[in-house]
Chains A and B, each alone.
Chain A
Amino acid sequence: MKFAVIRFPGSNCDQDCVLTLNNLPGASADFVWHKDTSLAGFDAVVVPGGFSYGDYLRCGAIARFSPIMQTVKSFAASGGTVLGICNGFQILCESGLLPGALVRNKGLHFVCKHQSIRVESTNSRFTRAATKGQVLNIPIAHGEGCYFADDATLAALNANDQILVRYCDAAGQTTDAANPNGSRENIAGICNETRNVFGLMPHPERACDAALGSTDGLVIFDSLLKC
């Protein structure tokens, strides 16, 4: 499976993603510059973390207009796999590929730590190698990670089983205290209705090597590679 890792001015997790993917059996990855317009030869797209366009205006607001994003949109519309991590999640929301938006953390601080998240649904190509309720220990690093959607959107997300991961404590309880940023319903990541686009604030690519303290992120990539 060949992954395109999109590189915007200000992306800073692009190299981590490429390195992680190239270390996985059955996967390979290449950078794709934001001014490119082709995804020919790629099986999946990763929109990585960072601060695309310096977070000007709003996180992800300018990246949405990049030439490559028009191609990513048609790629997604035709059922292609798109994974947005951190700033990538913000970009996917700004682009309208995912519902809702990410706003300033409730506590105002940039939060950078390992965080427990619970797999809420295994009914997706991103989580099918996990078990429902499985707790993953994955780093988060963001200032604008508070997921917001109105009540009607939240109801639809729940009804369609689109909430794939929620923030929780080490025991798997989705308490207020375990919510690092004030996200509604402890939401850490959601997929679209057709389940081929997934965005999450935690960084699974930073949790794929024991030397980095956790390998729990592997389950996301293993899910994608499991046919």
Chain B
Amino acid sequence: MFEPSRNENLRAMKVLVTVLPKPSVLDPQGAAAAEAIRHLGLTGVGRVRIGKVIELELPDSTPDSEIHRIAKDLLSNPVIEDYSISK
């Protein structure tokens, strides 16, 4: 198990996984937020989508394929969500 606080030799990186509902999936939270932005007086707002951001602390050596596996098999549900990864 990866325990950065106990292993100073292991370099860690932080990875952000962003998960958003697919464009074809109803996002009532996003629609409600868009409406609220209009109430702020900003009429130019288009579609708003609400998802989540997950921060992962991983060993530097973690291959991208592993990060994609985590994102695809657990953090997102490919039926309804898309994800992107940034390091």
- Is residue B16 within 8 Å, beta carbon to beta carbon, of the partner chain? no
Report A-chain residues with C-beta under 8 Å of the C-beta of B27: 104
Interface segment, A43-51, A144-152, A163-171? A144-152
* CB within 8 Å: A-B pair count: 38
B55-71 interface mask toward A, CB cutoff 8 Å, 1 = contact, 0 = none? 00000000000000000
- B77 contacts A101, CB within 8 Å? yes
Looking at chain A's contact residues, the main secondary structure is loop
Contact among B26, B74, B75 for A103, CB-based, below 8 A: B26
Report A-chain residues with C-beta under 8 Å of the C-beta of B80: 101, 103, 148
Q: How far is the CB of B22 from chain A (nearest CB, A)?
A: 9
Report A-chain residues with C-beta under 8 Å of the C-beta of B74: 57, 61, 65
- B29 contacts A103, CB within 8 Å? no
Q: Beyond the given A106-B28, A148-B80, could you list 13 further A-B residue pairs with CB under 8 A, ordered by the A residue number?
A: A61-B74, A65-B74, A94-B77, A101-B77, A101-B80, A103-B21, A103-B26, A104-B26, A104-B28, A148-B25, A148-B79, A150-B24, A182-B26
| A-B CB contact pairs (8 Å), 8 listed | A61-B74, A94-B77, A103-B26, A104-B27, A104-B29, A107-B28, A148-B79, A148-B80
Interface centre among A57, A65, A99 (most CB of B within 10 A): A57
Q: How far is the CB of A69 from chain B (nearest CB, A)?
A: 14
User: Of residues 55 to 114 in A, which have CB atoms within 8 Å of B's CB atoms?
Assistant: 57-58, 61, 65, 93-94, 99-101, 103-108
Q: How far is the CB of B29 from chain A (nearest CB, A)?
A: 6
Q: How far is the CB of A113 from chain B (nearest CB, A)?
A: 19
* Given contact pairs A103-B25, A106-B26, A148-B25, A61 touches B32 in the complex (Cβ within 8 A): no
